[in-house]
Chains A and B, each alone.
Chain A
């Protein structure tokens, strides 16, 4: 779906967006955060199987917290960020300036509010930069949060059919911990075309 050159350009663009998201996250948790995007994939939604993420060991514990926002209208889609449940408390404690108790993964309503706000800031930084890149105005829905076993998540409710999914396998490196996460951005065909058109335009400007 992506030529090697388009993929290279997209990784570069996403790295910049991820850098801004990492900077926002760092300000929230008050410590240095390195957010890496080691790998990206663009797949047809029909080729996505959440169970695969669990099977491939993306999440050592299959319980996850997922936060999602919808955005549109010209560049339209759904953005989801998925964290293993075991690591969410680490992020929440970092935000609140609390000492993390190893093994304590129990989340209170206040913790969920914190993680929702954190995901909101990260997803806004990531998706909003697409708006700036494409020079289009994005409207967002308010973020929602779910927690479940990844294999039991209703895939069709999260990833609409007839979309293309940009998968970002991310790692958040905090001072004392590494948190693996997944960012899934489901885009309509028109939106993917708009993005690829922009990438080709940028590559053309550089005579590549």
Chain B
């Protein structure tokens, strides 16, 4: 399974990559620091799952999801964001995403992410 991590923070990217590979060592991880780069990787690499932040310089996660959903309703998208606003969570959940997880990823939320990725693999 190919997983695309989208986050402008290298720290957040590396942390997620390490968390995922600790439980799912055979998965392929690719990463992008912005929505624009992520969209290009989505087109060229066709990932099975995208784990994306929302707030990033340039194209944010919400626009990225919108663009992906114009042509692809199958790719699983998991949002991992620091935004705690209920209105934002409700709006993003309407965009056919798998889950919205609030940053930072503690042990419990990391387990949730791994479980979701496991489900995506077995789907």
Chain A positions within 8 Å of B, measured between CB atoms, are 20, 24, 27-28, 95, 110, 113-114, 116-117, 120-121, 124-125, 128-129, 131-132, 135-138, 140, 142
- Which of B9, B83, B87, B104 contacts A113 (CB under 8 A)? B9
A124 to B84, CA, bound (A): 7
Chain B residues within an 8 Å CB radius of A121: 82, 103-104
Q: Which 8 A-B pairs have the closest CB atoms?
A: A124-B82, A128-B84, A27-B106, A117-B9, A131-B85, A142-B57, A121-B82, A28-B104
A120 to B11, CA, bound (A): 12
Q: Is B85's CB under 8 angstroms from A114's CB?
A: no
A20 to B102, CA, bound (A): 12
A136 to B12, CA, bound (A): 28
A131 to B89, CA, bound (A): 12
Q: Is B8's CB under 8 angstroms from A142's CB?
A: yes
Q: What would 14 more interface pairs be, CB under 8 Å, given A124-B83, A131-B85, A140-B83?
A: A113-B10, A117-B9, A120-B82, A121-B103, A124-B55, A125-B82, A125-B84, A131-B88, A132-B84, A135-B87, A136-B87, A137-B91, A142-B56, A142-B57
Categorize the interface residue count of chain B. Answer: 20 to 34
A162 to chain B, nearest CB (A): 26
A55 to B86, CA, bound (A): 40
Chain A residues within an 8 Å CB radius of B9: 113-114, 116-117, 120
- Which of A27, A110, A113, A128 contacts B85 (CB under 8 A)? A128
Chain A residues within an 8 Å CB radius of B55: 120, 124, 140, 142
Interface residues of B in 37-93 (CB under 8 A from A): 55-57, 82-88, 91
Chain B residues within an 8 Å CB radius of A140: 55, 83
A116 to chain B, nearest CB (A): 7
Chain B residues within an 8 Å CB radius of A129: 84
Chain A residues within an 8 Å CB radius of B83: 124, 128, 140
A140 to chain B, nearest CB (A): 5
A114 to B10, CA, bound (A): 8
Q: Is B84's CB under 8 angstroms from A27's CB?
A: no
Known contacts A124-B84, A140-B55, A140-B83; decide if A110 and B11 are in contact (CB<8 Å): yes
Residue with the highest number of chain A CB atoms closer than 10 Å, among B57, B85, B88: B85
Known contacts A121-B103, A142-B56, A142-B57; decide if A113 and B84 are in contact (CB<8 Å): no
